[in-house]
Amino acid sequence: MFIDEATIKVKAGKGGDGCVAFRREKFVPRGGPAGGDGGDGGHVVLRSTSRLSTLTHFRFQPEQKAEKGRQGEGSNCTGRTGRDLVLDVPAGTLVYDAETGELLHDFNAPDMEFCVAQGGQGGRGNAHFKSSTNRAPRFAEDGTEGQSMTLNLRLKLLADVGLVGFPNAGKSTLIARISAARPKIADYPFTTLQPNLGVVDLGDFDSFVVADIPGLIEGAHEGHGLGDRFLRHIERTKILVHLVDLSDESGRDPVGDYEVITNELSCFSHELVEKPCLVAGSKIDAMQDPGRLEALKAHCATLGISFQAISSVTGQGLDSLLRETGRRVREARQAERVPPAGGTDPNQVNHSSTGGTESVE
C-alpha cells in the first residue's frame, strides 16, 4: 500500500527524578547526602533512508515515544540516560508541525537526521542542595517532561525525471520498457493508481531515476479524475517528459492534450511549468493519421520544446529519447553543483529550538 501522508504524535522521554539518599558506612560518621541525579530522557530523531518509499509503517503506529531516563540512585550514582527513538522515513519526506503548519525539515537526501523532540533533563539529587545551613536536605528535583509534538509527514518522491500525460498515454509501458519497474499495464484509463519509480541505466555508470504518476485529465486541479494530489511527487524532478498519445484510439487532438496537461500543471504550481520539458509523441505504432504527428511536432517547434516520436512497444525512438533525457539530467546535476554567489545559500533556515538546519526548496 502506497501511503504518502501520515500524521504522528511523538513524545521524547521524561528525565529521571533525582534521588534522596545519605551515605551510611561503617567508620564514616555523618556521611552526608549522596543522592545521584536522574538520567536525561531520550530524544526523538527522524532519519531519512533510501530503503523506504512509503510512509505505510506509520499507518498503524501513529504514536511514538522515546525511553524515559532512569531515576538517580544512592552513592551519587546518576541514572541511565533514556535511549533515543530513531524513526526511519523515506528520503524526500517533508516534516511539518501539525499545529502551526511550519516546515520543520526537508529530507531531500538519504542518511539525514533531524531531532524533532528533545528529551527532558534529569532532576538533581539531594547532594546538590547541601549547604552550611542545610546539611541534610531531604528533597530532590523531579525530571522535566520531554517535548511532545504532532507531526504531518508528506512524501515527495526523489526522481530526476517525471512522466506526465493523460491516462492511458503510455507512461507505464514506457517506464516498464526502459527500467526494471513493473507497474500495472492495461488498456483502460487510470490503470496507475500510485506513483512508480524506475532506474534507467544508460551505461558507463550513468543512470537516472524516472517517476511515473497517475494520469491527469482536464479539471484535475478541481478534483476531477484522481485529482492532482500526486503532482507533488514530480516537484523535485529536474525535467519533465510529457507523453502525448498519437494513436487514433484516443479520439483527442494531440495538441489539445498537451495544452490541457500544461494548464493543469500551471494550476498546481507555476514552478512545474518552468521546468525543462521534453515532449514524446507515444504509440506511433498504432498511429494511422500522420497529420497528428506533424501537428504536434510543429506546435512543439513553435514553443521551442524538444520533440521525440516513440513507440514503447516496438522500441522506435526510445534510444534517442533516453540520450536526450540523460543529457538534460546531467546538465541539471552540473548546475546544482555550482555554489551560489556569495558562498551562502539564502534558503538555509536555522531552527535553534531543535538545533537543525534545513534547506527549503
Express each pLDDT in 123-166 by its tens digit.
999 999 998 888 889 999 999 999 999 999 988 887 889 888 88
Instruction: State which of 178-187, 193-202, 242-251 shows the largest mean pLDDT.
Output: 242-251
Interval 290-348: pLDDT, tens: 888 999 999 999 999 999 999 988 889 999 999 999 888 888 888 877 665 555 444 44
Q: Which of 61 and 183 is assigned the larger pLDDT?
A: 61
> Is it the case that residue 351 has pLDDT exceeding 60?
no
> Is it the case that residue 264 has pLDDT exceeding 90?
no
Structural contact between residues 245 and 165, judged by C-beta atoms closer than 8 angstroms: yes
**Degrees (nearest 5) of the Cα angle 9, 15, 20?**
155
Q: Grid coordinates 546539611 are at which residue?
A: 135
Q: Grid coordinates 507515444 are at which residue?
A: 282
What pLDDT is stored for residue 287 in this prediction?
A: 84
Pairing type for strands 348-351 and 63-65 reads unpaired
What is the percentage of the chain residues whose pLDDT exceeds 90? 38
Structural contact between residues 197 and 219, judged by C-beta atoms closer than 8 angstroms: no
**Burial status of residue 189 (CB atoms within 10 A of its CB: 0-12, 13-18, 19 or more):** middle
Q: Grid coordinates 525525471 are at which residue?
A: 161
What pLDDT is stored for residue 189 in this prediction?
A: 61
pTM confidence score: 0.73
Q: Which of 27 and 329 is assigned the larger pLDDT?
A: 329
Interval 105-129: pLDDT, tens: 999 889 999 999 999 999 999 999 9
Averaged pLDDT score across all residues of the chain: 84
Interval 219-251: pLDDT, tens: 776 666 666 677 888 888 889 999 998 988 877
Q: Which of 344 and 179 is assigned the larger pLDDT?
A: 179
Q: Which CATH number is correct for 1-155, 3.40.50.620, 1.10.3720.10, 2.70.210.12, 3.40.50.10490?
A: 2.70.210.12
**Domain spans of the chain, in order of start:** 1-155, 161-337
Task: Specify the amino acid at residue 241.
Answer: V
Fold annotation for 161-337: Rossmann fold (3.40.50)
Instruction: Give dist(CA 331, CA 337) in Å, integer.
Output: 10
Reported confidence tier of residue 273, pLDDT bands at 50, 70, 90: confident
Q: Grid coordinates 545551613 are at which residue?
A: 133
Structural contact between residues 146 and 14, judged by C-beta atoms closer than 8 angstroms: yes
Q: Which of 341 and 91 is assigned the larger pLDDT?
A: 91
**Degrees (nearest 5) of the Cα angle 296, 300, 305?**
145
What pLDDT is stored for residue 36 in this prediction?
A: 93
Instruction: Give dist(CA 20, CA 189) in Å, integer.
Output: 71
